[in-house]
Amino acid sequence: MNRHVIIYLILFSIIIPFNACATALDDIQARYSAFSDFSVGFTQVSYFHLLGKKVNFTGKLYYKKPGYVRMDVFKPERQIIVMKGTKAMIYLASEKKMIVQDVPKGIATQNILAFFSGLDSIENAYIVEEKSPHIYLSPRKGKGSIDILVKDDLVREIDVIDAMGNHSHIILTGYCFNLGLKEDMFHIGH
Q: Does residue 116 carry a pLDDT above 50?
A: no
DSSP string, 67-86: TEEEEEEEESS-EEEEEETT
pTM value? 0.78
Whether 89 contacts 72, CB under 8 Å: no
Q: Which residues contact 140 (CB under 8 A, 6 or more apart)?
A: 124, 125, 126, 127
Q: pLDDT tens across 4-37, in order?
A: 444 444 444 444 434 333 357 777 777 877 889 9
Distance CA 97, CA 126 (A): 36
DSSP annotation of 184: G
Whether 76 contacts 93, CB under 8 Å: no
Q: pLDDT tens across 31-78, in order?
A: 877 889 999 999 999 999 888 999 999 999 998 887 788 889 999 999
Question: What local confidence, expressed as pLDDT, does residue 115 receive?
Answer: 42
Q: Does residue 82 carry a pLDDT above 90?
A: no
Question: What local confidence, expressed as pLDDT, does residue 189 receive?
Answer: 55
Q: What domain range includes position 139? A: 3-186
What is the helix, strand, coil percentage profile of the chain, to 5?
20, 45, 35
Which residue in 3, 11, 181 sits closest to 88, CA to CA?
Answer: 11
Confidence of residue 106 (pLDDT cuts 50, 70, 90): low
Q: Does residue 84 carry a pLDDT above 70?
A: yes
Question: What local confidence, expressed as pLDDT, does residue 53 receive?
Answer: 94
How far, in Å, are 111, 175, 177 from residue 158 at the CA level? 14, 15, 20
- Average of per-residue pLDDT values in the chain: 77
Question: What local confidence, expressed as pLDDT, does residue 124 receive?
Answer: 64
CATH number at residue 94: 2.50.20.10
DSSP bridge pairs for 167: 47, 161
Number of helical (H) and strand (E) elements in the chain, helices listed first: 4, 11
What is the number of structural domains in the chain? 1
